[in-house]
Amino acid sequence: MGTLQTWRKAYGALKDHTTVGLAHVNSDFKDVDVAIVKATNHVECPPKDRHLRKILVYTSAMRPRADVAYCIHALARRLAKTHNWTVALKTLIVIHRTLREGDPTFREELLNFQQRGHVLQMSNFKDDSSPIAWDCSAWVRTYALFLEERLECFRVLKYDIEGERLPKPAQGQEKGYSRTRELPSEELLEQLPALQQLLYRLIGCRPEGVALGNYVIQYALALVLKESFKIYCAINDGIINLIDKFFDMPRHEAIKALDIYKRAGQQAMNLSDFYGVCKGLELARNFQFPVLREPPQSFLVTMEEYIKEAPRIVSVPIETLDYPERLMLTYKQEDEPSASEDAQDSANETPPPLPLDDAVVSTTETPSPPMPPPPSSLESDDLLVTSASLIELFVVYLEFDGYCFGISLFVPIVTSIFVVSGAKCTNWLCISN
């Protein structure tokens, strides 16, 4: 077994030496190619800073975007071709440190490259050279998922959570606040799930088995652990902001907020367990772990009761928004009937029907008279008339405590409610559904 491991190390060193020689001869970007190969060689140790500094200079804002894009292409090629967990892990460490310490142009180009080629997609990666390599390969896959989620979180938030500088605390405050403390409800409900998903991937980076004691994995785990503090701080400040705005939210937003609140409580417990594992490692000597406080579970009952009675927002048709005059209700003053019209109406009145015994049966069919309109308790000069674009369907009148309530339905769906006392309209209200 020892002989096999020695042979593998010698073979890896030979491959690195050959790759460096080819880069010196064939590459147009030999400096960055050599730096990448040396930073991600087969030796089980973290990438050396002198090689990493060359990569940071090559991806700085002073360099052309084409050089930055080539550097990302070279890292992606190195990651795709290797089957050795050490090379893969060291390549991910180089990408992670460049995201943390490098220029924003690297992150922007990596996002563009990620949309086309999925640089960090390593779900099928496996180094089956030894049982130790199996455990380490599993951690490499979870680490790649965290870095991939880190890019996705930046795409949603539009800023790097690790690069955020917290404002200085005001007088009487213990610490500064994250941006999530001041966000409006709509942005808060969009950003908090992205931060919680990033924290979920971070907690998944807990090493297991032999990988727990590997020095290179602990080096990468320290980078992950540093980012957990600001992520937790941003989520915690966002939850405080969420509670402040919760009782002003409509029902559909309140349901989302309740799910976020429940997940925050569960993640606080999981993060506490994650910190418990990390405290037993050598890397924990330089870290001061925060005190985690779970959101009060008693508040869940109050939130659920509010959701049952929260206002619902009903969508308004686009046509109604385009033509607001459809919602306008106007009073139409009808002319008083003249004396001649009264006489003509009285002449046209049909005589009362004869008793059944004296009725004369006619052999010719006579058309039935039209149905009379429904009786109205309003005077003719108090009718409520819609604009020409609305069609009144029916009117229902209800009497309650001496008042008469009228409800009219129109097309498009518009409901007008008006209150009349006697024959005069005293108040009306228009509600659109």
Q: Are residues 268 and 318 in the same domain?
A: no
Query: Is position 349 within any domain?
Result: no
Query: Is position 217 within any domain?
Result: yes
What pLDDT, in 10s, does the model give residues 300-346?
888 888 988 877 764 444 554 555 554 455 545 555 555 555 555 55
Q: Are residues 90 and 186 in the same domain?
A: yes
- Note down the domain range covering 95: 2-166+181-309
Q: Are residues 218 and 318 in the same domain?
A: no
Query: Is position 339 within any domain?
Result: no
- 41: DSSP letter: -
Between these two residues, 402 and 91, which has the higher pLDDT value? 91
Residue with tokens 């540093």: 226
Query: Is position 352 within any domain?
Result: no
Q: Are residues 122 and 83 in the same domain?
A: yes
Query: Is position 354 within any domain?
Result: no
Query: Is position 398 within any domain?
Result: yes
pLDDT for the residue 7: 57
Q: Residue 75 sits in a domain of what CATH number?
A: 1.25.40.90
Distances (CA, A) of 333 to 198, 271, 336, 342, 423: 66, 72, 9, 19, 14
The amino acid at residue 267 is Q
> How many structural domains does the chain have?
2
Query: Is position 365 within any domain?
Result: no
Q: Are residues 303 and 403 in the same domain?
A: no
pLDDT for the residue 128: 87
Q: Are residues 259 and 329 in the same domain?
A: no
Q: Are residues 267 and 408 in the same domain?
A: no
Nearest by Cα to 283 from 218, 335, 334, 223 = 218
3-class DSSP assignment, residue 246:
helix
Cβ 60 vs Cβ 102: under 8 Å: yes
pTM of the predicted protein model: 0.69
Q: Are residues 55 and 120 in the same domain?
A: yes
**How many Å apart are CA 233 and CA 244, to the nearest integer?**
17
**How many Å apart are CA 8 and CA 13, to the nearest integer?**
9
Q: Are residues 329 and 393 in the same domain?
A: yes
- 363: DSSP letter: S
Q: Are residues 123 and 228 in the same domain?
A: yes
What pLDDT, in 10s, does the model give residues 343-363?
555 555 555 454 444 444 444
**How many Å apart are CA 31 and CA 102, to the nearest integer?**
18
**How many Å apart are CA 106 and CA 91, to the nearest integer?**
15
Distances (CA, A) of 57 to 52, 200, 275: 9, 33, 34
Q: Are residues 324 and 255 in the same domain?
A: no
Which residues make beta-bridge pairs with 416?
408, 430
Query: Is position 341 within any domain?
Result: no
What pLDDT, in 10s, does the model give residues 256-286?
999 999 999 999 999 999 999 998 888 888 8
**How many Å apart are CA 314 and CA 327, to the nearest integer?**
16
CA dihedral 288, 293, 294, 299 (to 10 degrees): -160
Q: Are residues 49 and 10 in the same domain?
A: yes
